[in-house]
Amino acid sequence: MVDRVEIIEVSARDGIQNERTLLSLEDKLELISRAVAAGARRLEVTSFVNPARVPQMADADALVPALPRGNGVSHIGLVLNERGLERAIAAGVDEINFVVVATETFNRRNQGVPVAATLEAWARVARLAQENGILAGVTIGASFGCPFEGEVSVARVVELALAVAEAGPHEIALADTIGAAAPSDVRRKIAAVAAAAPEIALRCHFHNTRNTGLANAVAAVEAGVSRLDSSIGGVGGCPFAPAATGNIPTEDLVYMLERMGIATGMDLDALIETAHWLGGKLGIAPPGMLQRAGRFPPPPPEAGAHAAAG
């Protein structure tokens, strides 16, 4: 098991993309700034997709240039095609995350084309990103189950991992887009992909739709994965997957990992405060649990007063 986990904060992208309330550009910038202040160093900040389909991401071209630079922070933009990559390059992202979905039906719903066409687009996007000095990673969506086609086999995930590996991604993420996985599924698929493409780092993206997200995160860490996605407050979901609810909450994940003796470099009190702030901006009670219960043991009184003042 790894002794340190890098958390990729996705609240500004996957976290808010399915919310009815549209955050202003200023609120998105504050969310990202709060996450960085809490210790996040890799953040998915937006998607360069069709704003008519995902209006929450309509300001992507203005958001990225407005982000502060430095402090070792890497801003990731999600792209689905070459047009999205062109926009991401112009905006000035540090990394791009491309998506191919494991099943034909879901890929067509998400990207409007068959999987084969998405793989061809990925090869072109990866080459152009690398030519422009941008790290290119790829996520295999619905790796653990599809709302339209059901179970996704280990063989299918390995097949896609080998296909995307040909373009030389710096990492491959396995995404449980609809929160269908159990820890046994996670262990099997991580082991199979790691054996098939041992030279490529693995990352995992879990949703908590069926309350297995944190258990799956533990299984991933035990299987050797040291990169996990999470979203402050546990907000999130996919607009094109029925009943796909929130990501695993960053603050809950940090609490669990650090109680296990696994370092994250994140400030738990700042994360809890930001979860409350984000819930207020979205007009919801975020699904994360730690923001309700508080961490254990509680912070010293002076730390709590400082956090409240901040």
Indicate which residues carry an active-site annotation.
238
Q: Is 92 helix (H, G, I), strand (E, B) or coil?
A: coil
Cis peptide preceding 297, ω within 30 of 0 = yes
Which helix H or strand E contains 155, and what residues bound it?
Answer: helix 154-165
Tokens, residue 13: 């992208």
Q: Compute the residue count for the chain.
A: 310
Tell me which residue of 6, 35, 20, 54 sits closest to 274, measured CA to CA.
35
Tokens, residue 140: 């295999």
Cβ–Cβ under 8 Å, residues 128 and 90: no
Tell me which residue of 88, 180, 90 sits closest to 136, measured CA to CA.
88
Tell me which residue of 234, 226, 233 sits closest to 273, measured CA to CA.
233
